[in-house]
Structure 1
Amino acid sequence: MALLSEGQHLFVAELSYLAPMEEVDALIGPHRAFLKDQYAAGHFLASGAKVPRDGGVIIAIGTDIEEIEALFRLDPFYTSGVAQYRVIEFNPTMVADGLR
């Protein structure tokens, strides 16, 4: 199984909360629905909360950073203003054996 297909790039997105946890938690259901949709579309590989829980991290696959940033602008956390994203593109030079 190859990690990336031709023309795909890998991204790490750091999500940082901008609002109190009560506001974040109120949107956790719609946020998780957004995540499920992106997993189903093949855009996301892994996601989870940072420790301490002041945001999250998502590993994504896409054709370019503009595509990935556009996806994150659909997240209810982002559209409601409770969080912001920082997206980093990277070129993996080494991967675990099962991901080549």
Structure 2
Amino acid sequence: MFILELTYTAPLDRIDALLAEHVAWLQEHYAAGVFVASGRKVPRDGGVIVAVGGGRERIEGIVAGDPFVLAGVAAYRVTEFLATTTAPALEAYRQQLPA
């Protein structure tokens, strides 16, 4: 599982100009089963996405295709972790520690 932390590197007017494209990109990856949750940070200086499926290389490739990244208005920090404990609603994403 991955936490994708997005930080804006440009003023909000440039972010807002690309927001519809970013949301379409998000929806594409929700439909593919890669994104589990996402939203704006408070204060609004970026966002957070919870992602599953595939390895780090795949996730970094997906992040590189974000319209915010392509336009140079945001940067990502990708953190991988093992979700060994989850709420019942997220049981399908529960992981095991390696042997």
Global fold match (TM > 0.5): yes
SS in 2 for 1:52: coil
CA RMSD of aligned residues (A): 0.8
Tell me, yes or no, if structure 1 residue 48 matches structure 2 residue 39.
yes
From the two aligned structures, give the one with the greater strand fraction: 1
Cα offset, 1:93, TM superposition = 1.9
Cα offset, 1:31, TM superposition = 0.3
From the two aligned structures, give the one with the greater helix fraction: 2
Supply the distance in 2 between the matched residues of 1:87 and 1:56 (Cα, whole angstroms).
Answer: 12
Supply the distance in 1 between the matched residues of 2:83 and 2:69 (Cα, whole angstroms).
Answer: 28
Aligned length: 91
Q: Segments of 4+ in structure 1 off by > 6 A?
A: none
Unaligned regions of 5+ residues in structure 2, if any?
Answer: 92-99
Q: TM-score, normalised by structure 1?
A: 0.88
1:79 corresponds to which of 70, 74, 95: 70
Q: TM-score, normalised by structure 2?
A: 0.89
SS in 2 for 1:62: coil
